[in-house]
Amino acid sequence: MPDGAEPFTLTVASGIDQIAATEWDACAGNANPFVAHAFFSALESSASAVAATGWQAQHLALNGADGRLAACAPVYLKSHSYGEYVFDWSWADAYERAGGRYYPKLQVAVPFSPVTGPRLLAPPDAPAGATEALATGLVQLAEATGVSSLHVTFASEAECRLLSRHGFLLRTGIQYHWHNRGYTNFEDFLSDLSSRKRKAIRKERAAAAGHDVVIRDLAGSAIEERHWDAFYGFYRDTVARKSAHAYLSRAFFSALGRGLGRRVLLVMAETPEGLPVAGALHLVGDDTLYGRYWGAIGAYDRLHFEMCYYRAIDFAIQNGLARIEAGAQGEHKIQRGYLPQPTWSAHWIADHRLRTAVDRFLARERSAVDEAIERLATLSPFRNEPQA
C-alpha cells in the first residue's frame, strides 16, 4: 500500500459505477466537467469506453483511515493508442520491433478528449500526503499489472512535476486557447485586434450570417432527443470525412445531456423549416468553455468558424468565463484570437532501455515545442503583441 502521513488503502474499480458519484465528485471538484463522475459514466454506460473498445476501466481509489475516498484517478487499461491525442505509436512500434510487448498499457486520461485538467483528483481538504500516495499507487498498479508503461495525459503542469518525482518522464504539446481580457462584448474583443484581423473576422461572421439558417444555443432541458439524433449524424459525417473512427455511440450523447445538464452547450443551426444542418458541442466549466465536436450536412461557408469559435467567444464573454479551449491542433485558430499554449503529460516506462530512448526523444521534442510556441506567438492577431 502507498506510504504517507496517513495509512491509505488502495483499490481498483473496474467501472466508474463502483465508486459513489458524490465521493468521486468531491475529489474532482466542479471546475472541469470532463472529470465529473457523470462524464465517465456516460462513456462507460454507453459502451463507448469499455473493455470491448480497448478501454478497460481500472480507476484508482485511495481511501483514508476513516474509509472515505481521499483521492482518485481515472485509469484505463488500453490495448491500443487510439483516442488519446498524445501520440506514442512510434514508441510502441520501436519497442515491439525490438522484441518487447507495448500493449496493454495504462492510461490516466479522459477518453477521446484532448482537454486539459486535473488527473490526480483530490479535494482541497484531502489528508496530508494523499496526492503523493495516489502517484505512488499508480506506479504500484503499473508494476502489479505488468504493463509496459503508464501515461498521464493532458494533466496540469503541477501534477506532471509531482509525477516526475515518481519516475515519470515529462512531455509537452501545443493547443490554442482564447483568453478573456475583461471584454464586455464581441466588439470589445475585436477592438483588441489589429485592423486587418478585425476586418477578416467581421467578413467571416458576415459570410456565416448570409446562410439561410437560424443558430441557437441550447442547454439543459432545451436539448431534446431530436437534437442529439441530428448531432450524432453530424458527428458521424465528420468522422467519415476524416477517415477516422467513431469512438462515441449515439447513447453517449443522451447520457451526457442527462448527466451534465446545463454544463452541456449545444450550438445548433437549423433551416427556417426547423431542419438541423450543423452543430457544435461544448462543455461549460466554472471558468472555461471547452469546445469538442462539430459537424454539418452540406457546405456552409464560414459556418464552422462562427459556431465553433465566434459563438464560443460570445458565450464566454456573456457568462464571464476566463478562457476557451478549442480542442486539439489548428494553427488557423491563432488569427481568430486563440493563442498557442503548452500542454503537459507524464509517462512512466518499465523497461529501462525504452525509457532511455524515450527520454532522449522527449528532450528534443520539448525544445522543438518551446521554439514552436515562441514562433507561433509572433502570429498573434492582437495589436499590442509582436506581429509576424
From first to last of its 388 residues, what are the pLDDT tens digits of the chain?
Answer: 444 456 899 999 999 999 999 999 999 999 999 999 999 999 999 999 999 999 999 999 999 998 999 999 999 999 999 999 999 999 999 999 999 999 999 999 999 999 999 999 999 999 999 999 999 999 999 999 999 999 999 999 999 999 999 999 999 999 999 999 999 999 999 999 999 999 999 999 999 999 999 999 999 999 999 999 999 999 999 998 888 889 999 999 999 999 999 999 999 999 999 999 999 999 999 999 999 999 999 889 999 999 999 999 999 999 999 999 988 878 999 999 999 999 999 999 999 999 999 999 999 999 999 999 999 999 999 997 644 4
How many structural domains comprise the chain?
A: 2
Nearest Cα residue to 184 out of 287, 319, 305, 285: 319
Q: What are phi and psi of 111, to 5 degrees?
A: -55, 135
Q: Residue 388: inside a domain, yes or no?
A: no
Q: Residue 222: inside a domain, yes or no?
A: yes
Contact between residue 105 and residue 149 where contact means Cβ atoms under 8 Å apart: yes
Grid coordinates belonging to 121: 483528483
What is the model's pTM?
0.95
Q: Residue 331: inside a domain, yes or no?
A: no
Same domain, 284 and 170: no
Q: Residue 50: inside a domain, yes or no?
A: yes
Same domain, 234 and 93: no
Digit-coded pLDDT (tens) for 7-27? 899 999 999 999 999 999 999
| pLDDT of res. 362 | 98
Q: Cα 136 vs. chain centroid, distance in angstroms? A: 24
| End residue of a domain, out of 290, 321, 352 | 321
The whole-angstrom separation of Cα 165 and Cα 167 is 6
Q: Residue 328: inside a domain, yes or no?
A: no
Domain that holds residue 221: 181-321
Instruction: Determine the Cα angle at 183 with ends 181 and 184, to 5°.
Output: 160
The single-letter DSSP state of residue 36 is S
Digit-coded pLDDT (tens) for 86-138? 999 999 999 999 999 999 999 999 999 999 999 999 999 999 999 999 999 99
Nearest Cα residue to 292 out of 280, 276, 284: 280
| pLDDT of res. 385 | 62
Same domain, 243 and 169: no
Residues listed for the chain:
388
